[in-house]
Amino acid sequence: MATISTRLDPAPSAPKPAEQGLGHFSNDTPVQHGGLGKTLRIFWNMLFNKPRTTRPVGQIPVQPLTREQLLAAPDHSVYRLGHSTVLLKLRGKFWVTDPVFAERASPFSWAGPKRFHQPPISLDELPALEAVILSHNHYDHLDRKAVVQLAEKTRYFLAPLGVGDTLVKWGVDASKVRQLEWWQGIEVDGVRFVCTPAQHFSGRGLFDGNQTLWCSWVMIDATRRIFFSGDTGYFDGFKRIGEQYGPFDLTLMETGAYNVDWPHVHMQPEQTLQAHIDLKGRWLLPIHNGTFDLAFHAWHEPFDRIMALAWERNISITTPAMGQAFRLNQPERGQAWWLEVEPQPVNEHAAS
């Protein structure tokens, strides 16, 4: 039977998530917003001025996974299933971050960013999960149908404040849900998770902005340490997390969906690399790319830029294909698989 315990970890002189008014959360450093005009311009450009390069022409390579393969895999195996969905095997059990299996990252089945590829394994084929680890409630990170379908085979759901309430409303057994604030830690079957700060925002509709918390996660299994960034802009919190919990054997770092129009809530690749360094990371695995069209940059640009930067700084980086195993005990760089996908013609309107 699983054991679970909760306690507050000693935080480096950093505040808890601030609440503004009735249940509205904010970042440590206020994030600047461009106002209604800028927001409308961004939506207009998303709808009508997207460069063709934001989606691949060729087929994204996917290595199919089976339940039998996963059960036979060694501990500390890590699999990208798509976007920010990462499956980890720790202590003989399975843990998954931000499971999104939907065809679109959208409230609608008929509109919104559509997947470039299918997941390497279906929800039905996934083995039993010890925990689902959630970073925030945006549609490309919190997939209602996936959560509901996984509820029966998942022992626990770990979520930032408020997101757990959403799960319960969707029908997840409240006894399975654990909600944490920044710097709060929880232990599940010997694996420790700490809900750590991120610089982002939340909301699934027009009127629920910042009513639930967003976060990153520290995962500690004996001598192995993994960091999952969730969605975030670059901020000094990475240094605090690195000082408190680093060094990390692996950082799963947001690298994609960036743009000059939203610099505070997503990182440019240069910032991703600096965050990895701040965290005292050993291996960097870029995520939040290769699955959905969420910005104006070419779909392969995040890989190109982060790879070049890592090579320049002599940083160990791994880029496994979707479904390909990365073994913490025998780390490898992986292949530049995106170079095998048919490139799109360059569009003069492309913007980063």
Query: Stretch 310-332: mean pLDDT, rounded?
Result: 97
Query: Hey, which bits of 200-348 come out as E strands?
Result: 216-221, 224-228, 248-254, 281-287, 316-317, 325-327
Return the number of other C-beta atoms located less than 10 Å from residue 123's C-beta. Answer: 15
User: What is the phi/psi pair of residue 248, to 5°?
Assistant: -105, 135
Residue 14 Cα distances to 29, 31, 150, 201, 265, angstroms: 11, 17, 35, 18, 19
pLDDT band per the 50, 70, 90 thresholds, residue 281? very high
Report d(CA 254, CA 268) in Å as an integer. 9
> Per the structure block, which two tokens stand in for 131?
């925990």
Residue bearing the bigger pLDDT, 11 or 97: 97
Report d(CA 112, CA 72) in Å as an integer. 37
Within 198-342, where are the H helices?
237-245, 269-278, 301-313
Report d(CA 207, CA 151) in Å as an integer. 27
Query: Which tens digits make up the pLDDT trace of 97-108?
Result: 999 999 999 999
Cross-sheet strand order for the sheet of 325-327: 177-180, 154-160, 129-133, 93-97, 85-90, 77-82, 325-327
| Res 17 pLDDT > 70 | no
Asked which of 9-18, 35-44, 209-218, 222-231 is least confident by mean pLDDT, the reply is: 9-18
- What residue segments make up the domains of the chain, in order of their start? 62-340
pLDDT band per the 50, 70, 90 thresholds, residue 45? low
Inter-residue contact 208 to 166 (CB < 8 Å): no
Query: Stretch 220-233: mean pLDDT, rounded?
Result: 97
| Res 171 pLDDT > 70 | yes
Query: Which tens digits make up the pLDDT trace of 237-255?
Result: 999 999 999 999 999 999 9
- Residue 10: cis peptide before it, omega within 30 degrees of 0: no
Instruction: Compute the Cα dihedral for 226, 27, 133, 106 and give only its sign.
Output: negative
| Res 77 pLDDT > 70 | yes
Q: Which CATH architecture has domain 62-340?
A: 4-Layer Sandwich (3.60)
Question: Which residue type sits at 33?
Answer: H
The DSSP 8-state label assigned to residue 307 in this structure reads H
